[in-house]
Amino acid sequence: MKRAILYILSAVVTLAMVVACGAKSAADLSVNDELIMWYDTPAMIWEEYLPLGNGRLGVMPSGGVAVDHLVLNEGSMWSGGVQYVDNSEAAEWLPRIRELLIRGENRRAEELMYRYFTCSGGGSSSPEYGSYQTLADMWIECDVVADSVECYRRELRLRDAVATTRFKACGVEYCRDYFTSMSDNVAVVRLCASKPADYALSVTRPTRIGVSVDGCDVRIEGELPSGSEKEGVRYYGRAHIVTDGTVTSAETKLKVEDATYVTLLFTAATTYAVDDPQATVDGIIDRNAARSYEELLGDHVAAHRALFDRVEIDFGEQRLDIPTDRRLEEYATSGDDASLAALYAQYGRYLLIGSAHNATLPPNLQGIWANTVWCPWSGDMHLNINQQMNHWALEVGNLPELIEPLTRYVEGLVQSGEHTAEHFYRAEGWCSHILANAWGFTAPSEDPSWGATNTCGGWIALHLWEHYCYTLDRAYLERVYPTMRGAALFLRSILIEDSVSGYLVTAPTTSPENGFYLNDEDAARGAVTHVCMGSTMDNQIVRELFTAIISAAEILDCDAELVQDLRYALLRLVPTRIGTDGRIMEWLEEYREAEPQHRHVSHLFGLYPAAQIDHSTPELMEAARRTLDVRGDGGTGWSRAWKICFWARLGDGDRAAKLLRSLLEPAVVESGHRGGTFPNMFCSHPPFQIDGNFGGSAGIMEMLLQSHGEQIAVLPALPTLWDSGSYRGLCARGGVVVDCCWEQGRVTSVTLTSNSNSTHTLRLPDGTCRSVECVANTPVTLQF
Ligand code: FUC
């Protein structure tokens, strides 16, 4: 009964919107209509603002009553420029560094790395490396006395990608709707009042902005610092007002008087993405200024739903009776709010659409949302977990086309990566390390303790292969094979024989950002070493990529010689091994850990995202469990998200749900910010870092569906709390879309829809398997 009322309530809201934009019928209602985040006060901190995005533009309104602050973003707002930082001295020292590593003198090898194996020019903190930057701050002033306000509510409807602020003041009803159009690359703000009202609009930026106001327009422009004598990225933006009120301009402000409605259009562009930002911007504004608000809204909602509505996840009715920030607090204490996980999973898909749809660059550490001129870690595309995690929800979450920005980005790393491979390693192919910005930076960073991992290029190239595994899109494989091949050639050519173990190993390298004590003496004086050879993660990435290249080459019927050589190398790689304490070994040796609960769990790459540890390797599964028990359930936001994925792969739904609870822990505490989730459900590293959102979303979907082995496993890690529910539209490898319903923990029906004539093995939670014949694009439903 209660659910029906909620349905009707959200249906009424949606219907009003649907009618407003003249779309088809109420039959269009969906469980996704309940995916609403709402708050009963304006935002006080940025991590309470609501994110809107269309892949290129980002807008985050505060919902402030008298002054509504909108943080504006454009995905290609990057300072810095292309750098040539490859230090050709490095390769000369490589043989010596390797010799020392083989002799176990890692510390001496690390000293040489600090001297000779770093990029020139200062690395990530250099102005030339640059940073993703906020575009500007828009201020909408409304002539309302804030403390006369009643019935205040601001919300974000994920299914429409529309935010709204509503309140009453002195008997007047005020309403503001905001969206970043998915169909027309323009941000739209609609201000309405039940009586004529006055507004003022201005746009500011901490630095480097020129503002001009004329007629109904506010125009902004500026140039970002390149960090060199070269020209920096130039940006141009324009806000345009359509209203029934009177518009006047005063200095850098536009004033609107006696308006019952104002439609504000805003867009921006940069020279990073287009040749003539002003022409691009004026074209978009002039085209859309002539269209009705309802038309703009209707086209936007339709374009967004075309992606968003592919998936429904239903763990029971959404709790819409309390504001979302309070819902998070209650969940932290009770843990009893199953549908919050469905909201979080869908929020991850929402943020991915908002930051990758038709984007110039793949989602960075903050997606496209930033409120500062210099972002933490430059807001870049860190490649030793972060960028990869940003794409974990994409394929299973049925958003395959959003791989395009990443594909273009990785293809764009090849040229610089070949230069780095040559200058640092005298190696073939291309490589990349942890640092990755908008300018194709591929060199080791300024600090080998975290900057020397050279398998990052190989790891990110695996996402291109994964896309093929999910879609079976041969044309795509033909396109990306050379890029994947180049990454594998690099790894093949840097493998050396460890004369002690006889294995082929990468050298020099690290286990990302984690260190060890070489001996008790070092432990006593706290001397941590990082540089090593053949870290477990490296071995697993090399194995995964070589295996992918062999499969791809066989599908494309090419590279027989390379295939043979990679098969040989695979036989000589270090297997994933179990230490004397029953855990997976992180390094080639059983070194004493400097930080047993380190946030990176790199040596479980083979458990997730790879599938080298699974039901067919029970000992390794057990060792992985022990490893995670020691690593603990805390850590940075993304680390907690990764752990959800691990426990899902281990088939332990309740433990995965415990990690989800840890990830959703409120991040704002008296002492400041901690790992967890902010009131606007942004993930907290701290600070805000979006990879945890995507990783957490992928983890929840991994509890519902797995397809990494030969089987499609439904509900492989179902927690007790989600005992009844359903999902529609999740994707399995092999081009299959999966729907599933269950009651009291028992599967009641499964539907497979394959994009080819094919046979699949369906695995049920009790381990029983069924063979399912599929005809292309024809759903097959099994009832249980
Ligand atoms: C890696 C992680 C950090 C942070 C940074 C952006 O360096 O180890 O925790 O997430 O990326």
| Per-residue pLDDT reduced to its tens digit, 563-596 | 999 999 999 999 999 999 999 999 999 999 999 9
Q: Which of 124, 129, 377 to mutate to test the pocket of ligand 1 (most atoms within 8 A of CB)?
A: 377
Calculate mean pLDDT across residues 236-249: 97
Percent of the chain's residues with pLDDT above 70: 96
Give the tokens for residue 348.
């991850």
377 Cβ closer than 6 Å to some ligand 1 atom = yes
Q: Which of 365, 378, 380, 382 to mutate to test the pocket of ligand 1 (most atoms within 8 A of CB)?
A: 382
pLDDT band at 12 (very low <50, low <70, confident <90, very high): very low
Distance in angstroms (rounded) separating the CA atoms of residues 299 and 11: 19
The pLDDT, as a whole number, for residue 19 is 43
Torsion sign across C-alpha atoms 436, 550, 775, 709: negative
pLDDT of 6 higher than 80: no
Distance in angstroms (rounded) separating the CA atoms of residues 551 and 477: 11
The pLDDT, as a whole number, for residue 87 is 84
pLDDT of 22 higher than 70: no
The pLDDT, as a whole number, for residue 755 is 97
Which residue has the CA at smallest separation from atom 6 of ligand 1?
377
What is the distance in A from the centroid of ligand 1 to the CA of 384? 8
636 Cβ closer than 6 Å to some ligand 1 atom = yes
The pLDDT, as a whole number, for residue 236 is 98
Report the nearest atom of ligand 1 relative to the CA of 512.
8
Distance in angstroms (rounded) separating the CA atoms of residues 730 and 693: 18
pLDDT of 423 higher than 60: yes
The pLDDT, as a whole number, for residue 27 is 54
Report the nearest atom of ligand 1 relative to the CA of 380.
6
365 Cβ closer than 6 Å to some ligand 1 atom = yes
- Least-confidence region, from 27-41, 102-116, 474-488: 27-41
219 Cβ closer than 6 Å to some ligand 1 atom = no
Report the nearest atom of ligand 1 relative to the CA of 689.
10
What is the distance in A from the centroid of ligand 1 to the CA of 629? 22
What is the distance in A from the centroid of ligand 1 to the CA of 488? 25
pLDDT band at 781 (very low <50, low <70, confident <90, very high): very high
Q: What is the β-pairing status of strands 253-270 and 312-314?
A: unpaired
Q: Hey, what long-range contacts does 284-287 have (CB within 8 A, 24 or more apart)?
A: 284/184, 284/185, 284/186, 285/186, 285/217, 285/238, 285/240, 287/184
What is the distance in A from the centroid of ligand 1 to the CA of 672? 19
Q: CA nearest 546: which of 492, 502, 504, 470?
A: 492
pLDDT of 13 higher than 70: no
Calculate mean pLDDT across residues 117-129: 91
Q: CA nearest 175: which of 147, 198, 152?
A: 152
Calculate mean pLDDT across residues 425-430: 97
What is the distance in A from the centroid of ligand 1 to the CA of 639? 10
Q: What does the CA dihedral 366, 370, 373, 376 come to, rounded to 10 degrees?
A: -30
642 Cβ closer than 6 Å to some ligand 1 atom = no
The pLDDT, as a whole number, for residue 89 is 87
240 Cβ closer than 6 Å to some ligand 1 atom = no
Sequence-separated (6 or more) residues with CB below 8 Å from residue 669: none
73 Cβ closer than 6 Å to some ligand 1 atom = no
pLDDT of 104 higher than 90: yes
pLDDT of 2 higher than 50: no
Q: CA nearest 174: which of 155, 158, 150?
A: 150
For the beta carbon of residue 525, count every other beta carbon within 10 angstroms.
8
Residue 100 phi, psi dihedral angles, 5° rounding: -65, -40
Q: pLDDT tens digits, residue range 638-674?
A: 999 999 999 999 999 999 999 999 999 999 998 899 9
Report the nearest atom of ligand 1 relative to the CA of 384.
1
What is the distance in A from the centroid of ligand 1 to the CA of 130? 17
The pLDDT, as a whole number, for residue 710 is 83
pLDDT of 71 higher than 70: yes
Calculate mean pLDDT across residues 768-776: 97
Calculate mean pLDDT across residues 88-101: 95
Percent of the chain's residues with pLDDT above 90: 92
Calculate mean pLDDT across residues 144-152: 89
End-to-end CA distance of the chain: 27
Calculate mean pLDDT across residues 708-733: 96
Distance in angstroms (rounded) separating the CA atoms of residues 110 and 510: 10
The pLDDT, as a whole number, for residue 11 is 46
- Least-confidence region, from 5-9, 270-274, 709-713: 5-9
pTM to 2 decimal places: 0.96
What is the distance in A from the centroid of ligand 1 to the CA of 471? 30
The pLDDT, as a whole number, for residue 29 is 67
Q: Which of 598, 683, 689 to mutate to test the pocket of ligand 1 (most atoms within 8 A of CB)?
A: 689
Sequence-separated (6 or more) residues with CB below 8 Å from residue 642: 385, 389, 601, 608, 695, 699
Report the nearest atom of ligand 1 relative to the CA of 377.
6
389 Cβ closer than 6 Å to some ligand 1 atom = no
176 Cβ closer than 6 Å to some ligand 1 atom = no
640 Cβ closer than 6 Å to some ligand 1 atom = no
685 Cβ closer than 6 Å to some ligand 1 atom = yes
pLDDT of 4 higher than 60: no
- Least-confidence region, from 85-89, 254-258, 270-274, 408-412: 85-89
513 Cβ closer than 6 Å to some ligand 1 atom = yes
pLDDT of 216 higher than 50: yes
pLDDT of 5 higher than 70: no
Q: What rounded mean pLDDT belongs to the chain?
A: 95
Distance in angstroms (rounded) separating the CA atoms of residues 516 and 523: 8
pLDDT band at 26 (very low <50, low <70, confident <90, very high): low
What is the distance in A from the centroid of ligand 1 to the CA of 436? 12
User: Would you mind telling me the total number of residues written for the chain in this entry?
Assistant: 784
What is the distance in A from the centroid of ligand 1 to the CA of 287? 42
453 Cβ closer than 6 Å to some ligand 1 atom = no
What is the distance in A from the centroid of ligand 1 to the CA of 580? 30
pLDDT band at 125 (very low <50, low <70, confident <90, very high): confident
599 Cβ closer than 6 Å to some ligand 1 atom = yes
pLDDT of 382 higher than 50: yes
What is the distance in A from the centroid of ligand 1 to the CA of 314? 33
The pLDDT, as a whole number, for residue 25 is 52
Calculate mean pLDDT across residues 441-463: 96
What is the distance in A from the centroid of ligand 1 to the CA of 366? 12
Calculate mean pLDDT across residues 335-344: 96
Report the nearest atom of ligand 1 relative to the CA of 636.
9
Distance in angstroms (rounded) separating the CA atoms of residues 535 and 589: 9
- Least-confidence region, from 9-13, 470-474, 752-756: 9-13
269 Cβ closer than 6 Å to some ligand 1 atom = no
Q: pLDDT tens digits, residue range 177-186?
A: 999 999 999 9
